[in-house]
Amino acid sequence: MRRKIIAGNWKMNKTPSEAIKLVEELKPLVDNEAVDVVFCVPAIDIVPVVKACEGSTIQVGAENMYFEESGAYTGEISPAMLVDAGVRYVILGHSERRDYFKETSEDVNRKMKKAIEHGITPIMCCGESLEQREQGITLDWIRQQVKVGYQGIAAADAAKTVIAYEPIWAIGTGRTATTEQAEEVCGAIRQCIAEIYDEATAESIRIQYGGSVNAANAAELFAQPDIDGGLVGGASLKADFGKIVNYDR
């Protein structure tokens, strides 16, 4: 039985002082022993958020990371910096990074390997555009993103990672994928992992759905056999996140 993982992606929101306030507000609301709860926050918020989360079960994640160890990469954040700050997870290859910052699946693959090397659990995002969905190439596209993302990664390592299926047309639009659409793609991702590795790895890997998850639709989405939780944007910045984490109550 896979343990559910529900992560908030704060994106470029909350100054350090606002971040501490939000954690204090959410801390009593996001207590669910059956679920891994992760707050993925902007780099500058990581240190205060880790401190504010002390004594709770909340784990802290980053929203990006670079694939080099250190050196002349102005503006980038290294895996060792994240580890030292108390980060356990890192979102890699979010569609906003792929679209606005031209990250490729090859970049994402390099970052995946580095994160794993440093003991940080990657949450690798994949997802199709509306155009791709309408063209009927969703599954081919996603399979390609997953195959490149996991190139050269050993089965034992892959099994511990997380994949987030986030259809681009559902992100921040209030237009959630239907439960059937979300389950279809998450199931196809698991199948793809089984083809790359084996059934055991596919059964272990956790696959989230992301894209306009809210308190009203979380329970139905998370009840699907291949959906192991969610990656939540807008609703992770509000008290609603508590309801999403406690979707099973």
Is residue 166 flagged as an active site residue? yes
Is residue 94 flagged as an active site residue? yes
Name the minimum Å distance from CB 95 to ligand 13P: 7
> Of 154-193, which residues contact ligand 13P (CB under 6 A)?
166, 171-172
Residue from 136, 131, 196, 125 nearest 161 by CA: 125
Q: Which residues contact 18 (CB under 8 A, 6 or more apart)?
A: none
Name the minimum Å distance from CB 194 to ligand 13P: 25
Q: Which is nearer to ligand 13P, 95 or 201 (CB)?
A: 95
Q: Helix, strand or coil for residue 103?
A: coil
Q: Does 210 bind ligand 13P (CB under 6 A)?
A: yes
Binding mask 86-125 for ligand 13P (x = CB under 6 A): --------x-------------------------------
d(CA 210, CA 42): 18
Look up tokens 């794993």; give the residue: 116
> What separation in angstroms does the CA of 48 have from each of 34, 43, 54, 57, 65?
26, 10, 10, 16, 18
Q: Does 42 bind ligand 13P (CB under 6 A)?
A: no
Binding mask 227-246 for ligand 13P (x = CB under 6 A): ----xxxxx-----------
E-state strands within 10-83: 35-41, 59-62
Q: Which residues contact 85 (CB under 8 A, 6 or more apart)?
A: 46, 47, 50
CB nearest ligand 13P: which residue? 233
Look up tokens 């390609």; give the residue: 144
Identify which range of 68-76, 113-121, 208-216, 240-248 contacts ligand 13P by CB under 6 A: 208-216
Name the minimum Å distance from CB 39 to ligand 13P: 12
Residues with a catalytic annotation lie at 94, 166
| Interacting residue ranges for ligand 13P, rule: CB under 6 A | 9, 94, 166, 171-172, 210-213, 231-235
